[in-house]
Amino acid sequence: MKKWKSYKPSVADKKFDAIIIGSGIGGLCTAALLSLKGKRVLVLEKHFKIGGWTHTFRRDNYEWDVGIHYIGQVHNSYSPIRRLFDLISGGKLQWSPMDKNYDRIIFPDKSYNFVAPREQFIEDMISHFPKEESGIMTYMDLLDRASRSARSYFSNKALPGVLSTITYPFMTRKFFSYSDHTTLDVLASLTDDQQLIGVLTGQWGDHGLPPAQSSFAMHAMVARHYLDGGNYPTGSSRSIAETISNLIESNGGLLMVNAGVEEIKIHNGTAVSVIMENGDEIEADTIISNAGVVNTIDKLLKNGNGHSRLKDRLEKVEQTKSYVCLHIGLNKSADELGITNTNLWIYPSYDHDKNVQDYTNNPEADFPVVYVSFPSAKDQAWDENHAGYATMEAITLSTWDWYTKWQDLSWKNRGQEYEDAKTKLSDRILDIVFEQVPGIRHAMAYKELSTPLTVRDLANYQKGEMYGISHTPDRFRQRWLRPKSDIKNLFYTGQDITTVGVSSALFSGLLTASVVLKENLTSLLKD
């Protein structure tokens, strides 16, 4: 496990071409690409580990990821995602393919396996719903069309101002024909079978919104992403941050942890430096925020310099729900326990929107989803460091408001009521997990529940958000969600600029670096 360098005041004496605030995959990708182009970069991370949602944590012999559960398309060495990962990791990042059955969608009456490749997925869906073959085939076509239309939509974000404005209507029109509609509206136009709709939208947790609220374009991009199977980083998800950071450092870049930024300093309408939490000021020609647009505008940009106008824009978007995650440690290996690496999506009914509403209104209601992941079964290198042990994660939806009574108290000092609430919630989750994976009950040796407060403290999301800004139809109409901010020399990167997930945040780094350098870096992904 790589040791990270903590911030030291002497860093403020150095001059950098670019400062990147936050070390999530968007920030790391941006930093890596700039460093490959000869720029001296500084990555500042508030947490004590680099990586954002790609870092891991350990307890004794156990290790869990905190955000990455699977990634599609990287098994194909010619895919743009794989090529970009190879580029910014120097080819050092390796991948472990999951089983063909990458997801299992579980309802009280029946389970449905999502099996790669797409031809098998189609065949299986038709076998379950033979009367809906026409609707299923149309649905598959729409996934392709919506996903392809996204390319020009996102490409427009990287174009210079005038050119972007001129081409915007032409480059976005097709995408909007999909993104302006909810997932439920589109699927309801294809079929009246509510069970089929429930199955096809069984991955809604991958972007955080149930079908009646989410943009169909977001659903399409996620569903299509996994049709040919899932993969997991070999050596755990921390290998992503470790390999990319090694490349950044080899090109003269610097990464610092325990390096909280207090303010982005603006002078005469231009971003000129960052002010650290200890008062140090570090100058750079370019400031890039990977802290999320809400954090950037609400916390890092102070009053003045058009700040009120920027805050008004935040009224047009909403933040995603939060979640809780139960981290489970097992004192036997995945092989010994017969655990496969198929993800489990467990639902109380086929109506996802009603499930979410019922639970939001009453936390004692059935969980709207329990997602179960098995990182130790996914990672081909797991036994090299953790032989004889296994880990699991079980995740469900949550709401920040349920935890506000403890928000001003520090970790491990939130009192018995908080601990009792966590224990009760953990036991409820375990009841569902044991029902689906009964063989692990006797092997469970450790459990630890993270709450929205944990997410706030470690990922620096103000309300413990799962995915930053929600992927509603309106979100994709916000033209200001692009790499170049209204402030000169200040840029954004990360999932708020593109969409949810590691691969999307990865490409936000490509877009942002292209805008900063005024160069189309997609050429680097070609032979």
Kindly write down the DSSP assignment for every residue of 410-476, as one continuous string: PTT-SHHHHHHHHHHHHHHHHHHHHHH-GGGGGGEEEEEEE-HHHHHHHH--TT-BSSSB---TGGG
Q: What is the mean pLDDT of residues 186-193?
A: 98
CA distances, 62 to each of 53, 65, 67, 331 (Å): 18, 10, 16, 9
Do both 248 and 265 map to the same domain?
yes
Residue 222 burial (10 A CB sphere; 0-12, 13-18, 19+): buried
Q: Are residues 180 and 278 in the same domain?
A: no
Examine residue 380 and state whether it is found in any structural domain, yes or no. Answer: yes
**pTM reported for the whole predicted model:** 0.95
Tell me: pLDDT of 64 over 60: yes
Label residue 305 by pLDDT band (50, 70, 90): low
Do 293 and 403 belong to one domain? no
The tokens describing 57, both together, are 């944590």
Residue with tokens 């439920």: 184
Do both 223 and 242 map to the same domain? no
C-alpha to C-alpha distance for 72 and 53, rounded to whole angstroms: 17
pLDDT for 315 equals 87
In this prediction, residues 412-440 reach a mean pLDDT of: 95
On whether both 123 and 217 belong to a single domain, the answer is yes
Please report whether residue 213 resides in a domain.
yes
Task: Assess whether pLDDT exceeds 70 at residue 452.
Answer: yes
Q: Which of 282, 299, 290, 253 is nearest to 495 (CA)?
A: 290
Last residue of a domain, one of 427, 459, 491: 459
Q: What is the pLDDT of residue 457?
A: 87
Checking if the pLDDT of 306 tops 60, the result is no
Alpha carbons 409 and 265: distance in angstroms, whole number: 30
The total number of structural domains in the chain stands at: 3
Q: Could you tell me if 453 and 484 lie in one domain?
A: no
What are the beta bridge partners of residue 255? 43
User: Do 332 and 413 have their domain in common?
Assistant: yes
Collapsed DSSP state (helix, strand, coil) of residue 271: strand
> Cα–Cα distance between 242 and 123 in angstroms, integer?
40
332/243 same-domain check: no
Q: Does 83 map to a domain?
A: no
Domain span including residue 262: 9-54+234-316+471-525
- Based on the fold, state whether residues 304 and 325 are members of the same structural domain: no
358-388 burial, b for 16+ CB within 10 Å, e for fewer?
A: ebbeeeeebbbbbbbbbbbbbbeebeeebee
Q: What is the mean pLDDT of residues 427-432?
A: 97
Per-residue model confidence (pLDDT) at position 460: 80
For residue 393 the two structure tokens come to 């994660």
Residue 249: the pLDDT is 97
Tokens matching residue 260: 């909280």
- Measuring CA to CA, how many Å separate 345 from each of 112, 201, 228, 481? 10, 11, 18, 31
Domain assignment of residue 365, yes or no: no
Q: What is the CATH number of the domain that holds 41?
A: 3.50.50.60
Whether residues 203 and 296 share a domain: the answer is no
Which residue type does 408 have? D
Question: Does pLDDT of 304 surpass 70?
Answer: no
Cα–Cα dist 382/143, whole Å: 34
According to DSSP, residue 489 is labeled T
| Helices marked H in 208-302 | 216-225, 238-250, 293-295
Say if 345 falls within a structural domain: no
pLDDT at position 525? 87
342 vs 134: CA distance, rounded Å: 28
Tell me the two tokens of residue 519.
Answer: 């160069």
For 371-425, write each residue's pLDDT tens digit.
999 999 999 999 998 999 999 999 999 999 999 999 999 888 999 999 999 999 9
Instruction: Let me know if 472 is exposed, middle or buried by CB neighbors in 10 A (0-12, 13-18, 19+).
Output: middle
**Per the domain annotation, does 179 fall within a domain?**
yes
* Percent share of the chain, pLDDT over 90: 86
Is the pLDDT at 32 greater than 60? The verdict is yes
Give the pLDDT confidence of 502-518 residue by residue, as tens digits.
Answer: 999 999 999 999 999 99
Percent of the chain scored above 70 by pLDDT?
A: 99
Q: Is residue 95 part of a domain?
A: no
The DSSP H or E segment spanning 343 is strand 343-346
Give me the chain's average pLDDT, please.
Answer: 94
Q: Are residues 325 and 416 in the same domain?
A: yes
Does the residue 361 lie in any domain? no
Q: Which of 66-70, 344-348, 420-424 has the lowest mean pLDDT?
A: 66-70
pLDDT at 527: 66
**255 and 211 co-located in one domain:** no
In the prediction, which pLDDT does 245 show? 97
**Contact between 414 and 452 (Cβ < 8 Å):** no
